[in-house]
Structure 1
Amino acid sequence: MNIRHATERDIWQLAQIESRCFPEAEAASAAEIAHRVQYYGNHFWLAAEKQGIVSFADGFVTDYLNLTDAMYEHAEMHNEKGHWQMIFGVNTLPEYRNQGYATAVLNAVIEDCRKQHRSGIVLTCKEHMIPYYARFGFIDEGVTDLSMHGGAVWYQMRRALDY
């Protein structure tokens, strides 16, 4: 497995993975992914095998403390010098789940954020995923009223970083 960052040539494959991992109302389109890669391709972490990308996480950096719906649509809000790494999605193709790919991706995110001296990482997830992210040190902050993305109920989780 190789962990790398996104380039323009990855957009179509990332959009295909996103569409298989999230309901239509929540999945980023190819155009949205292209916009994100343009602004923060180095904040996509892709797990790739010989056959292609099998898992990825992405999100931009900001000084805002909480993840909001506007962030999904406005990649230009990315601030490379920001303190908080937002994670908009962790995607693993269904046939590659429970094989350590998402774990490798999240560990790469955490390690890169440490090297970049970020204050921490913020994500939102559905209730059933809270125990999974807690294994990485994310703390459940409860249901957020700042994100109703796709009409779902989201729990905000935060992983503070120490150096």
Structure 2
Amino acid sequence: MNLEFSNAKLEDLPKIMEIERAGFNASEASTEASMSERISLLSDTFIVAKLQKEIVGFVVGPAYNKRYIDDELYEKSLPNDDNDAYQTILSIAVDPKHHGKNIGSQLLNKMVEIAKNNNRKLVTLTCLSRLIPFYEKNGFVNEGKSSSEHANETWFNMVRNV
């Protein structure tokens, strides 16, 4: 499968939101305003995957100065700082019509590649317990329960060296 990767654009927002809402419940999903802000501020680390010109998935997260994501990152986006040591992933989602096609893994690898090219130490994310095996299959290590209270869920810190 020949996926094309590109930086997200504001014109991609409707499809990104459709995929986001399909992948996360209402309390977990980002708002349209938040995603729009991320597209504007994080264009170099907001990647969409396209299959035959159709967006089928995306991954986004800012560079950060802490090993683990905390809830403030979900509330306010800041531009990437070249001095930050860590690359976060706040959201990764694949259109349900395209599940099982390795798109999520390819998006993770794309973010790892970006992190490496920007001299980050590792990629960090939080996930629900049911997703730990997926991330471990993709080279991430579970470093335990997160302090995040996002959406009143129990999250786990996952990291992958670059």
| DSSP 3-state at the match of 2:124 | strand
Is 1:124 matched with 2:134? Answer: no
Alpha-carbon offset, residue 60 of structure 1? 0.3
Residue segments in structure 1 that go unaligned for 5+ positions in a row: none
The count of aligned residue pairs is 160
In 1, the alpha carbon distance for the partners of 2:17 and 2:109 equals 22
Query: Which is further off, 84-93 or 71-80?
Result: 71-80
In 2, the alpha carbon distance for the partners of 1:101 and 1:73 equals 27
Alpha-carbon offset, residue 149 of structure 1? 0.9
Query: Which is further off, 59-68 or 42-51?
Result: 42-51
2:113 corresponds in structure 1 to 111
Is 1:23 matched with 2:25? Answer: yes
With normalisation by structure 2, the TM-score equals: 0.93
How large is the Cα RMSD of the aligned pairs? 1.3
| DSSP 3-state at the match of 1:137 | coil
In 1, the alpha carbon distance for the partners of 2:14 and 2:145 equals 32
- Check whether the contact 1:18–1:27 (CA below 8 A) recurs between aligned residues: yes
Letter in 1 for 2:154: V
1:7 corresponds in structure 2 to 9
- What's the CA shift string for 1:36-66, capped at 9, x where partnerless? 1111021112111235211111100011221
- What's the CA shift string for 1:11-56, capped at 9, x where partnerless? 2211111011100001011111001111102111211123521111
In 2, the alpha carbon distance for the partners of 1:79 and 1:71 equals 14
Q: How does 1:33-112 map to 2 (within 5 A)?
A: 33-50=35-52, 52-76=54-78, 78-112=80-114
With normalisation by structure 1, the TM-score equals: 0.92
- Check whether the contact 2:62–2:78 (CA below 8 A) recurs between aligned residues: no
In 2, the alpha carbon distance for the partners of 1:103 and 1:110 equals 11
| Identity level (%) | 25
- What's the CA shift string for 1:92-113, capped at 9, x where partnerless? 1111011111111111111121
| DSSP 3-state at the match of 1:26 | coil
